Amino acid sequence: MFNADQVHSLGFPRAVAALRGALAGGLDPEREPPRIPINTGTGEILVMPSADGKTAGVKLVTIAPGNPSRGLPRIHGVYVLFDAETLVPRAVLDGAALTALRTPAVSALGVDLVTPPGAHRLVVFGTGPQARGHVEALRAIRPIDEVRVVGRDPAKAAAFAESLDASAAGAEAVADADIVVCCTTARRPLFPGALLAPEAVVVAVGSHEPEAREADDETVSRGGVLVESRAAALREAGDVIQAIDAGAIDAGALVIYADLVRDSVPARPRFIKTVGMGWEDLVIATAVVEAAA
């Protein structure tokens, strides 16, 4: 089994390159099967399958909201990679580590597609593994020299920020940020969109539930929306679904990663919403295994 260290050894630059290469090569996220949620009463198990011409795989990931109070990680999981032709198992990977690598890499690709090369001021909401991963991933693709962390617990936010050579701040820090990343379990918007600078790019990754959102309608509607897949966003992205329901944006105006990678549209959206998809896990898992071969 590829443990967490072996999964993360791929690094964010190679992970981003693998995702970009898959989309440039013709992978169509709109054809992906939806994730299958299984409610266990204390949380949920998510089943996320995917396949291409070379490999196939499935991730089983568990989300237990009560785990942090037990001193346990909120997310656990396992990924099984198969040869696509013979369906012989090729590898088993730590699923939580794969998610922790994949999600920031997807965000970093989106940021690379829509932000100026000189973007350098980053604000991160959250103090968990995803927040840490996003700081590392964005530092890999932009000259980030100022990071401010916003968290519910000031002491925890300060300690987390110190570990990243960053500083703790309040939500008002978004006012002069080039990039804002939301990595929380929030059910309601984290800040008013009116605070944002005109060219700031906001990334929201904290939820795949239609009822939850991290960004308000103004944030979502202010400059276009970039999503992994229109079908997935309309099914799971609460920030997008609620903005559409409120009449703030039109479903037909969503821009997808594949179009920007292939330069088929001129749009450069300023709101990025991802929910996590099976094809992303497959691409990154394959890259991890091939890099180790």
Q: Are residues 200 and 83 in the same domain?
A: no
- Whether the CB-CB separation of 190 and 171 falls below 8 Å is answered with yes
- Indicate which CATH number applies to the domain containing 9: 3.30.1780.10
pLDDT reported for residue 36: 96
Q: What is the pLDDT of residues 93-129, one digit of tens each?
A: 999 999 999 999 999 999 999 999 999 999 999 999 9
DSSP 193: G
Q: Are residues 113 and 131 in the same domain?
A: yes
In this model, does residue 207 exceed pLDDT 90?
no
What's the rounded Cα separation, in Å, for the pair 107 and 273?
9
In this model, does residue 143 exceed pLDDT 80?
yes
Q: What is the pLDDT of residues 3-35, one digit of tens each?
A: 999 999 999 999 999 999 999 999 999 999 999
At 8, list the tokens. 């993360």
For residue 215, which of 129, 130, 125 has the smallest C-alpha distance? 125
Percent of the chain at pLDDT above 70? 100
Return the SS3 of 147: strand
Q: Are residues 37 and 172 in the same domain?
A: no
Q: Are residues 29 and 151 in the same domain?
A: no
Q: Are residues 271 and 167 in the same domain?
A: yes
pLDDT reported for residue 35: 94
Q: Are residues 180 and 45 in the same domain?
A: no
- Whether the CB-CB separation of 148 and 161 falls below 8 Å is answered with yes
Q: Are residues 22 and 142 in the same domain?
A: no
Q: Are residues 27 and 38 in the same domain?
A: yes
| Domain count for the chain | 2
Rounded mean pLDDT, 76-102: 97
Q: Are residues 229 and 109 in the same domain?
A: yes
At 224, list the tokens. 């276009």
Q: Are residues 58 and 166 in the same domain?
A: no
pLDDT reported for residue 187: 93
For residue 22, which of 32, 36, 35 has the smallest C-alpha distance? 32
- Indicate which CATH number applies to the domain containing 233: 3.40.50.720
- Whether the CB-CB separation of 260 and 114 falls below 8 Å is answered with yes
Beta strand residue intervals within 105-193, DSSP E:
121-125, 146-150, 167-168, 179-182
pTM over 0.75: yes
Q: Are residues 254 and 186 in the same domain?
A: yes
Give how far Cα 61 sits from Cα of 6, 21, 48, 78, 232, Å. Answer: 18, 25, 8, 6, 18
Q: Are residues 249 and 287 in the same domain?
A: no
- Identify the domain containing residue 36 by its residue range: 4-98+279-292
- Mean pLDDT computed over every residue of the chain: 96
